[in-house]
Amino acid sequence: MIKRIWHQTISYLSISCMLLSLFSCGTDRNTNKDHLVFRYNEYANINTLDPAFSRTLQDNSVCNQLFNGLVQLDDNLNILPCIAKDWAISEDGKTYTFNLRNDVYFHKHERFGKDSIRTVVADDFTYSLNRLRDEKLAASGSWVLNKVDDFKAINDTIFEISLKQPFPAFIGLLTMKYCSVVPKEIVEFYGTEFRSHPIGTGPFKFKRWEENIKLVFRKNELYFETDEEGKPLPYLEAVSLTFLPDKQSEFLQFAQGNIDYLQGLDASYKDELLTADGKLRATYKPSVNMTTGPFLNSEYLGFYLDSETPEIQSKLIRKAINYGFDRKKMMMYLRNGIGNPANGGFIPIGLPGYNKSIGFTYQPEKAKQLISQFKKESGITNPEITLVTSSNYLSFCEFIQRELEKAGLKINVDVMPEATLRSSRSEGKVDMFRSSWVADYMDAENYLSIFYSKNFTPKGSNYFHFKNKTVDSLYNKAFMISDIEERKQLYTTIDSIAMDNAIMVPLFYDEVVRFTRKNVNGLGINPINMLDLRYVNKSLE
């Protein structure tokens, strides 16, 4: 143990010296055009540029630069006009009528004919939503239309959606990238390759994608939105992404000034950037800006309940893991206090339905008692579970591993690449896994959909294969209730049932943490951590 600590200390000192050198000496980059290009790294990689399949935060962030929908969110998660300049909802809450702008163009493409451009019309939304619900396509986002009865173009600028039943959160669903408008002639020309040849209406247009290496967008000169002074958006000329899978390498690129933006914290550099209480260290204040804000993201460990492993099937063991480690201590040591310990349920702080009393607190003796009870009832003297994680959350899993070992449970920690873990989790190939859930819209329903039995993976997001008749009944009932206080009570009840069954281990409710170079301006922050580059500009360093 002493040898290991000494080795880590030497490593941290080496990194510190290297980074101090990088920040003090600067770089010899040619900055003539640097202020026109926004550069960042996406360590978790990109799966697709097709919004119908954009299910991860990183996919949403790139699709947000390329595509638009009827409506959009601002940084406070207010729903604003986008391609629809306004809308009306019928008295019975079932019909939504959208009036579209007539000055929105798809990105230039030769398939559009003589001028290589085409105006967006209401029929494009008919096509896009029909494509989204096409069973043959099996789009990840098809579920957002589950409550939709029909939709149609009244004319070129009026689009109507009819619901099967009132659903107050529906307008929020339409802000998701799944509901982006795409052009029929381009999608049908590329087929499945539309994922790597996207044509949308967004502030940036696709230029080049070398998978696992680089992704480049260029400014859309025909973009329809302007700033408050009437100046065309976006300000930048280009966006350039790299895909270094190692967070420490990503940080070094940021330190050298080769990338402009660093998202989140990682054990490899958090102590270099932050003090123990989560403040930016004085060394980096001259070169770096740090921005934090609420993040509607629940980090958790999940159990695959259809597993044949006795320990996974046992509620005793699942509850023991929940009781067996100190979340507050974990956050202090592993996140420098950034984020909130998840002692409540799955619904995070900030959403109606959150309740701090329905989760688990640190009770090590209770954990030991439950594990002992499992041993006695099952006859298994040495209970053991394998937990699968990505490298970026290894420190959290090892912390839990050490704490549960004290209670009598052996946890083996396996590390997989993020993309492989996502695939294995969806296919039910891992018994216990680390994951996260980011709110797509301001209603707790999108959290509780993960407990609904009809959403079993791989067709839905119920990675646990949890099935409970009461949960299903309450989940469906919530759609019929417009009063937020009444829905809130139902949401809390559903969450508490899931917690009572211990189908997951909530770890923490996250905070958005963004680091930018000092010359980056206009990059906002929002509770769903969506990257919006429309208003970003860079000054010469």
pLDDT digits (tens, 9 = 90+) for 100-127: 999 999 999 999 998 999 999 999 999 9
pLDDT at 161 over 90: yes
Question: Please, are residues 416 and 325 in contact by the beta-carbon 8 Å criterion?
Answer: no
Q: Quote the pLDDT of residue 11.
A: 39
Q: How far apart are CA 202 and CA 220, in angstroms?
A: 7
What is the rounded average pLDDT for all residues in the chain? 91
* Predicted pLDDT at 372: 98
Which element (helix H / strand E) includes 154? Answer: strand 148-155
| Residue 465 CB neighbour total at 10 angstroms | 16
Q: What is the pTM of this model?
A: 0.79
Output the pLDDT for position 541. Answer: 65
148, 162, 300 from 173: Cα distances, Å: 11, 14, 24
What pLDDT does 16 receive? 41
Phi/psi-derived region of residue 532, left when phi > 0, alpha when psi is between -120 and 50, beta in every other case: beta
Using CA atoms, how far residue 501 sits from 69, 302, 404, 494, 505, in Å, is 38, 12, 19, 11, 11
Closest residue by Cα to residue 420 from 432, 412, 430: 430
Which two structure tokens, joined as six digits, stand for 185?
Answer: 């002639």
Confidence of residue 82 (pLDDT cuts 50, 70, 90): very high
Query: How far is CA 213 from each of CA 18, 216, 254, 283, 340, rounded to the nearest angstrom?
Result: 25, 10, 17, 31, 35
Q: How far apart are CA 61 and CA 204, in angstroms?
A: 12
pLDDT band at 61 (very low <50, low <70, confident <90, very high): very high
Is the pLDDT assigned to residue 464 strictly greater than 60? Answer: yes
Best CA proximity match to 344, nearest among 447, 477, 446: 447
Look at phi and psi of residue 91 and say left if phi exceeds 0, alpha if psi is from -120 to 50, else beta.
Answer: alpha
Task: State yes or no: pLDDT of 10 exceeds 50.
Answer: no
Query: 256 exposed, middle or buried (CB, 10 Å; 0-12, 13-18, 19+)?
Result: middle
Pairing of strands 504-517, 261-263: antiparallel
Torsional class of 138: left (φ above 0), alpha (ψ -120 to 50), beta (otherwise): left
pLDDT tens track for 239-286: 999 999 888 999 999 999 999 999 988 888 999 999 998 999 999 999
